[in-house]
Structures are given as C-alpha cells and as structure tokens.
Structure 1
Amino acid sequence: MTKLGRAIMADDSEVPEIQGSTGRSQTTSVSLHAPLPSPSGLAGAFPLDISSFTHTPCYCEENVYMLCKNLCKVGVADQMGTDLFVVFISNEEKMVPLWHQKASKRNDGMILWDYHVICIQRRRGKVFDFVWDLDSNLPFPSPLNMYFSEAIRPMNPPDLAITRLFRVVHAPIFLRCFASDRSHMKDALGNLLALPPDHEPITAVDGTKNNLDKYIQMREADTLSILDDLTHGVFSNEYGVVVTETMLEWFFSQIHQ
C-alpha cells in the first residue's frame, strides 16, 4: 500500500494534508467530523498473538494475502479459506479516512489512506463476523459491527466528499488470482519507497505478475445493490464486487457459502 507520504492530522482541529510520493502536498477541505464512539470496554473475541502474522508497513495487500494463508493453515479459518473475504477500501479520489490505525499520530488513530485492505471472516451460526486488520490497534480480530463503528465510523451526516467504497473478494479467488510486482512502491528511478516483505513478490496461479491496480480502482458507478448480483459476483468474479459503505454490514449478513 502506498502509505508513504500520507500525512495525518497533528490534532483534531487541523485540515488533513494529502501528500504523494514526491512529498509535494495539497490540502483538502473535506469535512471529517464524525461521531467518535468511546473505545472503552473493547475486548478481543479470543486471544491470538498478532505478532505471529507477517506485517510489513506499506504493503497491506500482501499482509492480508499472507494473513489469509496463515488463518487457513492454523485452523482458525476453513482450510480452503471459504469463510474469508478480502476487502479493499478506497474511492475515486484515493482518500479514505479510517480510525484506530497504528500509523496515526492522533489520539483517535485517524489517518487518510489512499487505500487499505482488511480481511473479514464470515462466521455462520455465530453472533458476529470478524475483521482482521493488522494495521489497527483495535482487538485482533474485532467483531465486524465493532470495527465498523470504531474504525470506519460512518459520517453523520453523510459526507458526499468522502464516499468510501469496498471491494469484496472471496479469499479462495484472491489467493489464486492476486499478483503484485511491487512497482507501486517504486519511484521514477525504480527505487523502493519502503522496505518490501521478506517473501518474494506474489505471482498469480496463471502467471500474472501484477494486477493490484485492478483491485484498488473502484468507482461509485461500479457498486451493486441487488443481492443476487452481489452473491454471484463475490463467488465468481476475479475482482469480486464493489459495495457502498451503507451496504457493507448488510451484505455480510446475507452471504452464504
């Protein structure tokens, strides 16, 4: 994830500054006033050592790829990953606010990302689904409803300037099809902007070397709202389906493997 150069607000009153890899910045007048629920009383769903999972700063897509594999390997998820879904969060402006992020310098953990990637585990017959976010300081994992209210924090009232979109990809498809040559983390001279993960760049089963941009690119026009279309798409499309912020929790309540 090209998180390098993404400036965060120094305090709750500042206007966030969005920077590119060149370091040149521009300010945005986007309003980020959202309800700030108290994090008190949060508790992890079960004890699991987050340090046992691979985490390389600025490479959230590869972190989640490895996370899905490890959850399957240790038996926390289905062996084939059928209960796991990879979720890319972004928008056309490549500017999405999230809270409780470790990289933030704010007390509430708010930061603006160009995109972020998490894993959602659908737990049929259980009270709640899980969100696995290696970049969050919330419990690991967190119940989906908790993560939605604490980390995503829907705008109240909705702010049309920061419409966050969610690309949901079934993990078995993602693990076969995703590829990244890490070119998005290189400058014009080919120098890496951040140290890469220890493992080799990820190549898709069919030999594709890089398709990260296709997962990140999403427009509001791409969103679906009919359940049959969403269900068919998430279990058959290489790049899953795109849903709006207001549809995310509802969609996961309707997903059946």
Structure 2
Amino acid sequence: MASQQETETSQFDHTPLYCEENVYRLCKKLSSTGVADTEASDLFVVFISNDKKQIPLWHQKASHRADGVILWDYHVICIQKKENEKPPLVWDLDSTLPFPSPLASYVAETFRPSFPLFSEFRRFYRIVHAPIFFRCFASDRRHMKDSDGNWNAQPPPYDPIIAEDGTVHNLNEYMEIRSVDAVPIIEADLVNAVKNEQLGVVVNEKQIEEFFTLPT
C-alpha cells in the first residue's frame, strides 16, 4: 500500500522552522491524495516540547552533527494510525529517517529513550486529532518575528492559517507543553478525549507508543 512505502519528501511543502504549518499541509495532502482517510480521521498531529523548551532529537536535517542531534524548542510531527493496520507511521519532514517511518523505530532512533537525559530535557507530547487541528489551529507567524517586526526566518509563500472561527493565532496554546499536564496513565477513553478536545492530550515519553496501541 502507498502508506507503507517510503515517500519522497519533495512531494510536500516544507519551510524550515515552520514545522506546525508543514505538518498542517502534509496532513491535508495525505488526506486529499488517498494516503490517509479523506476526513483525516487516521491522522494525529503531535507537538513535542517541555517546560524549558529544550528537546533533543536525533536524525534531524537541520543538525550539523553526524548523528543528526539538535536541540529544538519544540517540534511537530504527524502520526498515522489506521484502525486495522500496523504499525503506526510517523511522517516527519525534518527527519533523515525513512519517510514515513514505523513509530517504534522512529521513537528508538529519534528520541533514543534509553539515552540518559537531565530532567529539563525530557520530552512531552501533545496529541491532537487532525480533523480538530484543521478546524481550530491558527498561526499568523508572530512567533517568528523579532521585537522590531523583522522575520527571524523567511516565512512560507502561502497565506497564514486561520481557524474556522476566525482566530488568527493560537500556536502558543499548542506548543506550551508542561510536564504537569501529562496524563497519569493511558486509558481507552483517552482516544475520545483526543477526538473531542481542541488541544488534545499530553503524554510522556513512556506513553507515546502505548497511546497508539489503543483502538482508534
């Protein structure tokens, strides 16, 4: 199946340092081209960050190191979980790993859970259902401007994303991820919460794979 095969990242829009918009458009295209469900019901947008906004990720194209490690303030990926198919797939346009990658191998290679980290570098994950993300997410890119209004990085050529209700910017609500917001345990009703809450749910690193074993 197409979703099980490695895909060329060049088929998708990508603007460096605008990962949230890249993933928004990636999910739209996966849905429109039949790789994902037409309603995007099998797609989840995952924001990765922590209290200190310091998260190490490996195999990132922006890294200047041989192992591809880089320290992001936050990152955004897409995880696809089809009801009757395994494994879940990770779509990360900024990764040097196969595109897409099975979730288990992506976690092992990108997060390296066995690598000892100080507490301020531990990652947390906000899982948002793509159909809700399409309706509710907005970014006018203000986070990419300095105090004088100049761009810190060249913005995408297309218009900023506006939510269905007219909201022009709420990216900060998605990228603000605190350890205290992480759910204590993974339960079946978390899927319902993700499918009904604008900001989804926050899980810790030990829970990210477990969440995607739940029936969706």
In structure 2, the residue matched to 1:17 is none
Matches within 5 A, 1:61-140: 61-140=20-99
Q: CA deviation at 1:161?
A: 3.2
Measure, in 1, the Cα distance between the counterparts of 2:148 and 2:121.
Answer: 32
1:233 paired with 2:193, answer: yes
Shift of 1:143: 0.4
User: Would the alpha carbon gap of residues 156 and 101 (structure 1) be closer, same or farther in structure 2, given more than 3 Å must change?
Assistant: closer
Partner of 2:205: 245
Aligned-residue identity in percent: 55
Distance in 2 between the 1:113 and 1:255 partners? 31
Measured after TM superposition, the shift of residue 228 of structure 1 is 4.0
Q: Which residue of 2 aligns with 1:217?
A: 176
Secondary structure, aligned partner of 1:253: coil
1:231 positional shift: 1.9
Q: Which runs of 5+ in 2 are unaligned?
A: none
Q: Return the offset for 1:133.
A: 0.1
Kindly indicate whether the alpha-carbon contact (under 8 Å) linking 1:72 and 1:81 is maintained by their aligned counterparts in 2.
yes
Q: Which stretch shifts more, 220-229 or 54-63?
A: 220-229
Where does the alignment leave 5 or more consecutive residues of structure 1 unmatched?
Answer: 1-43
Q: How many residues align?
A: 213
Residue 155 (structure 1) shift: 3.6
Answer whether contact 2:47 2:127 (CA < 8 A) is retained. Answer: yes
Tell me which of 134, 138, 153 is aligned to 1:175: 134
Normalising by structure 1, what TM-score? 0.80
Greater than 6 Å deviation, 4+ residue runs: none
C-alpha separation in 1, matches of 2:66 and 2:115 = 20
Shift in Å at residue 230 of structure 1? 1.8
Partner of residue 3, structure 1:
none
Cα deviation, residue 218, structure 1: 1.2
Please identify the structure whose Cα radius of gyration is greater.
1
Taking structure 2 as the reference length, the TM-score comes to: 0.95
1:174-201 CA distances to partner (integer Å, 9 max, x unpaired)? 0110000000000001011111111100
SS at match of 2:212: helix
**Aligned alpha-carbon RMSD (Å):** 1.4
